Amino acid sequence: MIPHRGSPPRGQLLHRGKGGIDDVLRSAREAQSLFYSLQEQRLQAEYRRAQASLRQELDQQREYKRMLQLAEYQADLVNMFGHTMRDAVLDAFFDDGSDPVLSALHRKRHEGPTSRSAPYTSVHGGHSSGAAPPGVWRHQGSTEEGLVPPDFTDESRHARERRVFKRALEELRGGRLCGY
């Protein structure tokens, strides 16, 4: 029998050296490490996706909790200042850069008295019955004349109400008012 060129020696499947068993073993090791590294990369990518999903869910929970706290705070402010200030409270929380408190007060002024705002305006207007306008009491020389200055226009009244409202908000934010 004539041995073929390139065939391994007797008892050995592949010869050693380049193109032989050493190259096959090196290729097998590289394939194995590639297989495990691909599996590890896949697991790491899955872990990163899971972490991103958890972070997103946590952010949504934080935002929901913040909105609940904001709603409770708004409800407390509405309870403190009455239903006539509801629009002002909503505008103060969602300020778009305009002057929402004054626009809400302006809107309330042009609406006319409602069942809830009538006692508020009548008490602060200087008289207890809704029969006479506030100017009548001023001209008759009542004792409340010192409480209502003659230059008390609608704009200054609204500006003053806004300052009082802002001061109350600052007191609440500062924690000075604890009990409602």
**Shortest CA distance to 129 belongs to which of 137, 145, 84?**
137
pLDDT at 126: 45
Q: What is the residue whose two structure tokens read 């009990």?
A: 179
Domain-by-domain residue ranges, the chain?
A: 15-81, 83-174
What is the chain's pLDDT, residue by residue, as a tens digit (180 residues)? 444 556 655 666 666 777 777 888 888 899 999 988 998 999 999 999 999 999 999 999 999 998 888 888 887 877 777 766 666 666 666 555 556 666 677 777 777 655 454 444 444 444 444 444 444 444 444 444 444 454 556 677 777 777 777 777 776 666 554 444
User: Whole-model pTM?
Assistant: 0.32
The number of angstroms, rounded, from the C-alpha of 14 to the middle of its chain's C-alpha atoms is 71
pLDDT at 117: 45
Give residues with Cβ within 8 angstroms of 145, minimum separation 6: 137, 138
